[in-house]
């Protein structure tokens, strides 16, 4: 299912984004290899979502660079799932096919891909139902299916379980692992430290628009290196920022 | 007053041939104009909603302003275009149903486009990032948004139909109100009232109001059904 040209490693060099003079990304340096699940952690307003949106090409940085295996162009195999996915007033199957429009596939191939991903996310039996009648968990599974159908080499997930109950969260986490096994590199944000611990291979800790620490998950949670990450893990960082502001 | 009303309902009850012919022509002209106006106005409105180009705001203001274009003024402009010495005079369309369809199309297309722009722009705010993340082209975005907003856009098309079927100025000028050829409900009502034939005017008025009410009820029902089915 997952394919695409080699786009890794992705190197972000002094990436800056300053909308209306407010630095949201203030010089991000980061290298992402071609495998695994990276979780971007950090306090509110640290720049996590903007980092993902910049990787997805939704925001244009005003400084620095992103190199996709040395190229400035990522190619088509990047997909993104948002915290609150917008679903069309159409069937579940039609929504799953949304991302396939630019690929100009035959009708049979679109139907085949849609059927496969809906089967894998457990929504095949609801293919003809209206997507807007799905529960929150089902909606997020459909959003994952929609992205999965594209065959992403890089899948960006912006707090995909933020509004879900534990059961739905568990189902989405299982799907994320399955997509990873299918060959997609995953970068996601979350505020749920338990989830980050369960699902991540490495942690990108971001604060003040800069990457403060990038380390394997086990090491980050047992021995965070940067002072900011230590404070964050103790639950003190957001307060410190709030008082300093 | 009462005898006049009774005569009017008598005409309706007997399915008077003259009344039916006028109603049929009105529907033919206005529905054709709205179909053409929707073909132009819906994609145009959606494109203005989605595209970013210099002068976009000016186009939006122009479309909004055209919603209030007096039909007589448009009638005069189309008359000048279609008159024998005008740029389209060689087509020989003046004082024909085709000229009336042409004029009403020009009347309703900007109205449908302006309403479609607003509806689609509201939806675009919600979908822009999803579509961009999937790298949908501008054309694919417009088509998808038109499909997604289809039930709301019915209201825009209905507004166009309401405008077309109830206007009198443009069809009077470019159609000429020729009996049995270009006489529609509104021009007939104006003429028969001036002549003092109130029963026919009232009968046509009842049909006109009934059509507008019926179409709006149909659209309302469609929207309600769509809300339940698609959310």
pLDDT at A243 over 50: no
DSSP B15-62: T-HHHHHHHHHHHHHHHHHHHHHHHHHHHHHHHHHH---TTHHHHHHH
Q: How far, in Å, are B41, B116, B117, B231 from residue B156 at the CA level?
A: 10, 6, 10, 20
Nearest to A82 among B130, B136, B231 (CB): B130
| Interface touch B151/A89, C-beta < 8 Å | yes
Q: How far apart are CA A227 and CA A215, in angstroms?
A: 14
Spatial separation of the C-alpha atoms in residues B154 and B158, rounded to whole Å: 6
Chain B residues close to A82, C-beta within 8 Å: 129-130, 133
CB-CB neighbours of A5 under 10 Å: 12
CB B74 within 8 A of CB B170: yes
Instruction: Name the minimum distance, in Å, from the CA of B23 to any CA of chain A.
Output: 36
> In the predicted model, what is the mean pLDDT of chain A?
92
Report helix, strand and coil shares of chain A as percent, to nearest 5.
40, 25, 35
Q: What is the pLDDT of residues A79-132, one digit of tens each?
A: 999 999 999 999 999 999 999 999 999 999 999 999 999 999 999 999 999 999
Contact A102 B137 (CB under 8 A): yes
Run of H or E including A140:
helix A136-149
DSSP at B2: H
Q: What is the count of residue pairs from A and B with beta carbons less than 8 Å apart?
A: 55
Choose among A190, A195, A192, A145: nearest CA to A170. A195
Contacts 24+ apart (CB under 8 A), A190-197: A190/A39, A190/A41, A190/A159, A190/A160, A190/A161, A190/A162, A191/A159, A191/A162, A192/A161, A192/A162, A193/A41, A193/A221, A193/A233, A195/A39, A195/A161, A195/A169, A196/A39, A196/A41, A197/A221
CA distance A9 to A13: 12
- What band does A2 get if pLDDT is binned at 50, 70 and 90? very low
Alpha-carbon distance of B159 to B114, in angstroms, equals: 11
Distance of alpha carbon A167 from alpha carbon A43, whole angstroms: 25
pLDDT at residue B32, rounded to an integer:
98
Cα gap A40→A232, rounded to integer Å: 13
Predicted pLDDT of residue A186: 98
Q: Which residues contact B201 (CB under 8 A, 6 or more apart)?
A: B8, B188, B189, B192, B193
CA pair distance A44, A22, nearest whole angstrom? 15
pLDDT band at A238 (very low <50, low <70, confident <90, very high): low
Query: CATH 1.10.10.10: does it fit domain B2-230?
Result: no
- Kindly report, residue by residue over A217-237, the tens digit of the pLDDT: 999 999 999 999 999 988 877
Rounded to the nearest angstrom, the gap between the alpha carbon of residue B179 and the centroid of all alpha carbons in its chain is 23
Q: What is the predicted pLDDT for the residue at A241?
A: 54
Q: Which residues pair with A37 in a beta bridge?
A: A186
pLDDT for A244: 47
Comparing CA positions, the residue from A31, A37, A33, A36 lying closest to residue A15 is: A31
Residues in chain B with CB shorter than 8 Å from the CB of A80 are 133
Q: B134–A56: do the CB atoms touch at under 8 Å?
A: no
Best mutation target among B125, B131, B135, B150 (most A Cβ atoms within 10 Å) is B135
The pLDDT assigned to B57 comes to: 94
> Best interface-test mutation with A: which of B129, B134, B148 has the largest number of A CBs within 10 A?
B134
Which member of A56, A99, A133 has the closest CB to residue B231? A133
SS3 at position A208: coil
Flag whether pLDDT at A3 surpasses 50.
Answer: no
Which residues of chain B fall short of a pLDDT of 70? none
> A34 burial class (0-12, 13-18, 19+ CB within 10 angstroms)?
middle
How many whole angstroms separate alpha carbon A201 and alpha carbon A218?
8
Q: How far apart are CA A152 and CA A174, in angstroms?
A: 17
- Which pLDDT score, from 0 to 100, does residue A1 have? 47
pLDDT band at A66 (very low <50, low <70, confident <90, very high): very high
Return d(Cα B27, Cα B35) in angstroms, integer: 12
The span from the CA of A201 to the CA of A97, in Å, is 30
A131 contacts on B by Cβ (under 8 Å): 231
CB nearest A98 (choices: B129, B134, B137): B134
- Cβ-Cβ contacts under 8 Å, B148 against chain A: 88-90
Q: How many residues does chain A have?
A: 245
Separation between Cα atoms, residue A7 and residue A34, nearest integer Å: 8
Assign B84 to helix, strand or coil: coil
Q: Identify the H or E element spanning B171.
A: helix B169-175
pLDDT of residue B39: 98
Which ipTM did the prediction report? 0.88
Q: Which residues of A touch B (CB under 8 A)?
A: 53, 56-58, 76, 79-80, 82, 85-86, 88-90, 98-99, 101-102, 130-133, 146, 150
- CB pair distance less than 8 Å for B231 and A101: no
Domain boundary assignment for chain B: 2-230
A98: which chain B residues are within 8 Å (Cβ-Cβ)?
Answer: 130, 134, 136, 144
The maximal CA–CA distance of chain A, rounded, in angstroms, is 58
pLDDT given at position B6: 85
Residue A242 pLDDT class (50, 70, 90 cuts):
very low
Q: Is A128 exposed, middle or buried (0-12, 13-18, 19+ CB in 10 A)?
A: exposed
> Distance (Å) from the C-alpha of residue A225 to the closest C-alpha of chain B?
34
What is residue B62's predicted lDDT score, i.e. its pLDDT? 94
Q: What's residue B231's pLDDT?
A: 78
Residues 6 or more apart in contact with residue A126 via CB below 8 angstroms:
A92, A118, A134, A138
Is the per-residue pLDDT at A207 higher than 90?
Answer: yes
Whether residues A58 and B134 touch (CB distance < 8 A) is answered with: no
| DSSP secondary structure letter of residue B90 | G
Q: Do the Cβ atoms of B129 and A82 come within 8 Å? A: yes
Q: Which two tokens stand for residue A173?
A: 């986490």
Nearest chain A residue to B140 by CA distance is: A101
Taking CB atoms and an 8 Å limit, are B226 and A89 in contact across chains?
yes
Longest Cα separation, chain B: 68
Our CA-based measurement puts residue A159 at a distance from the nearest CA of chain B, in whole angstroms, of 15
């Amino acid at each position: 299912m997952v394919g695409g040209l080699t786009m890794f490693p992705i190197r972000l060099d002094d990436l800056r984004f300053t909308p209306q003079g407010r630095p949201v990304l203030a010089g991000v340096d980061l290298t992402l290899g071609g495998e695994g699940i990276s979780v971007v952690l950090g306090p509110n307003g640290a720049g996590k979502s903007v980092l993902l949106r910049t990787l997805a090409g939704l925001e244009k940085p005003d400084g620095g660079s992103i190199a996709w295996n040395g190229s400035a162009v990522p190619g088509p195999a990047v997909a993104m799932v948002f915290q609150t996915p917008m679903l069309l007033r159409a069937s579940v199957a039609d929504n799953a096919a949304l991302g396939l429009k630019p690929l100009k596939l035959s009708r049979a191939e679109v139907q085949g891909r849609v059927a496969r991903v809906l089967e894998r996310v457990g929504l095949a039996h609801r293919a003809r139902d209206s997507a807007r009648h799905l529960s929150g968990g089902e909606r997020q599974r459909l959003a994952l299916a929609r992205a999965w159908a594209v065959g992403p080499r890089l899948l960006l997930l912006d707090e995909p379980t933020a509004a879900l109950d534990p059961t739905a969260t568990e189902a989405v986490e299982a799907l994320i692992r399955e997509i990873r096994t299918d060959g997609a590199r995953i970068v996601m944000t979350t505020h749920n430290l338990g989830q980050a611990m369960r699902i991540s291979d490495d942690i990108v800790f971001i604060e003040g628009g800069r990457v403060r620490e990038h380390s394997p998950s086990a090491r980050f949670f047992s021995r965070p290196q940067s002072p900011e990450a230590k404070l964050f893990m103790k639950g003190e960082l957001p307060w410190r920022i709030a008082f300093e502001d | 007053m009462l005898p006049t009303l009774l005569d009017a309902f008598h005409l309706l009850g007997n399915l008077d041939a003259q009344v039916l012919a006028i109603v049929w022509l009105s529907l033919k002209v206005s529905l054709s104009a709205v179909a053409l106006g929707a073909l132009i106005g819906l994609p145009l409105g959606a494109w203005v909603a989605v595209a970013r180009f210099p002068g976009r705001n000016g186009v939006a203001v122009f479309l909004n302003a055209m919603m209030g274009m007096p039909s007589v003024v448009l009638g005069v402009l189309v008359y000048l275009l279609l008159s024998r010495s005008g740029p389209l005079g060689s087509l020989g369309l003046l004082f024909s149903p085709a000229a009336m369809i042409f004029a009403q199309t020009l009347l309703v297309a900007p109205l449908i486009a302006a309403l479609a722009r607003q509806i689609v722009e509201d939806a675009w705010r919600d979908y822009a990032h999803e579509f961009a993340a999937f790298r949908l082209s501008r054309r694919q975005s417009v088509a998808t948004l038109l499909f997604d907003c289809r039930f709301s856009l019915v209201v825009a098309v209905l507004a166009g139909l309401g405008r077309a079927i109830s206007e009198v100025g443009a069809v009077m000028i470019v159609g000429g109100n020729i009996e049995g050829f270009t006489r529609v409900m509104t021009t007939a009502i104006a003429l028969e009232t001036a002549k003092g034939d109130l029963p026919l005017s009232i009968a046509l008025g009842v049909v006109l109001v009934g059509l507008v009410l019926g179409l709006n009820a149909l659209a309302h029902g469609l929207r309600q059904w769509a809300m339940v089915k698609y959310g």
